[in-house]
């Protein structure tokens, strides 16, 4: 092997006659398959370098090279939908295991996927105008996060059903959830129900109030993947329960315009001394720090 050129495809010194296509300023040429007579290659035809255009739009190409007749034939061309794109730099073409094609559109921050016959099934932009896309690929992603599944449980009161909100950010293998409850930390947990995973966050409702709960992430084969921490069901107090529903409490809002970040109910209870703080100590204001609403006295204590 001395590095000498065996053959060229395209250009002024092409070894092969291009029977039904041309290309220029191409990127990402790859071998797809080869036998005794035919070599199949793919490439991304930019069809432009910003000054000279050899076609109206760029495309992904599958090309069959006949090594006996020295003729190259375009098998399939994959064009961006909605009138096509003309990419003046970069770009790539990927043939997927199922026969589909995936295309990164170079100087245009777009990606697309096409069925084997060229029909687009995905066309998306992932950045603003002026951004570029050197390469884009599609692969299977399988992940089991290090952290535990997230569980929140809520009941309007201790005679109401319990509502569960469960998710596990980044987990790809979860197909269902199993819910376990107990009346105390010293009592065993028992299975009370299961629910097919429904999007990012699954909501499950029991028929009765549950004190402590755990949720188990379940794989397609029925095996358990991970458990959440033990969660105590949140039950709103008498005042808050009046504005809550059977499934949740509203987000607290500071509508007074004082920008302290504390809900009005806390401000009102402080100003009217519903916290039963001695008058000599009741000087200061409410404030919100790291998501917690506190009363800050003039002395700086809370």
DSSP 94-158: EE-TTS-EEEE-BTS-EEEEE-TTS-EEEEEE-S-TT--BS-----------SSPPEEEEE-SST
Architecture of the structural domain at 150-232: Sandwich (2.60)
Check residue 127 and give its pLDDT: 83
Check residue 92 and give its pLDDT: 98
Domain range annotation of the chain: 17-125, 150-232, 251-297
Q: Which residues of the chain have pLDDT under 70?
A: 252-302
Check residue 280 and give its pLDDT: 38
Q: How many Å apart are CA 265 and CA 48, to the nearest integer?
A: 64
What are the residue ranges of helices labelled H in the chain? Answer: 238-241, 264-271
Q: What is the pTM of this model?
A: 0.63
Q: Is 267 helix (H, G, I), strand (E, B) or coil?
A: helix
Contacts of 133 (CB under 8 A, 6+ apart): 90, 91, 104, 105, 106, 107, 108, 109, 110, 111, 126, 127
Check residue 129 and give its pLDDT: 75
Q: How many Å apart are CA 214 and CA 189, to the nearest integer?
A: 8
Check residue 284 and give its pLDDT: 42
Contacts of 222 (CB under 8 A, 6+ apart): none
Check residue 279 and give its pLDDT: 42
CB 189 within 8 A of CB 180: yes
CB 36 within 8 A of CB 42: no
Question: pLDDT tens digit string along 85-94?
Answer: 999 999 999 9
Question: pLDDT tens digit string along 250-261?
Answer: 875 544 555 544
């Amino acid at each position: 092997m001395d590095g000498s050129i065996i053959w060229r495809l395209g250009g002024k010194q092409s070894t092969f006659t291009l029977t039904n296509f041309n290309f220029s300023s191409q990127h990402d040429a790859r071998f797809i398959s080869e036998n005794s007579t035919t070599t199949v290659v793919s490439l991304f035809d930019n069809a432009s370098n910003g000054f000279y255009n050899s076609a109206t739009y760029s495309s992904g190409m599958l090309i069959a090279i006949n090594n006996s007749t020295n003729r190259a034939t375009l098998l399939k061309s994959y064009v961006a939908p909605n009138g096509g794109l003309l990419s003046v730099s970069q770009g790539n073409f990927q043939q997927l295991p199922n026969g589909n094609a995936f295309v990164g559109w170079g100087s245009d921050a777009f990606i697309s996927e096409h069925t084997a016959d060229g029909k687009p099934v995905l066309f998306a932009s992932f950045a603003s105008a002026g951004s570029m896309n050197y390469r884009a690929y599609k692969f299977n992603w399988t992940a089991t996060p290090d952290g535990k599944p997230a569980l929140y449980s809520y009941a309007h009161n201790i005679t109401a059903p319990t509502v569960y909100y469960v998710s596990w950010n980044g987990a790809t293998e979860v197909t269902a959830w199993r819910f376990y409850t107990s009346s105390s930390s010293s009592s065993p947990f028992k299975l009370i129900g299961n629910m097919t995973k429904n999007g990012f966050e699954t909501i499950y409702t029991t028929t009765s109030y549950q004190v402590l709960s755990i949720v188990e992430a379940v794989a397609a084969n029925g095996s358990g993947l991970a458990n959440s921490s033990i969660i105590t069901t949140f039950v709103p107090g008498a005042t808050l329960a009046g504005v809550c529903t059977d499934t949740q409490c509203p987000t607290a809002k500071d509508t007074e315009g004082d920008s302290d970040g504390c809900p009005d109910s806390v401000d009102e209870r402080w100003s009217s001394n519903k916290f039963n703080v001695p008058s000599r100590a009741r000087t200061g204001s409410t404030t919100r720090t790291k998501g917690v609403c506190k009363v800050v006295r003039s002395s700086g204590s809370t």
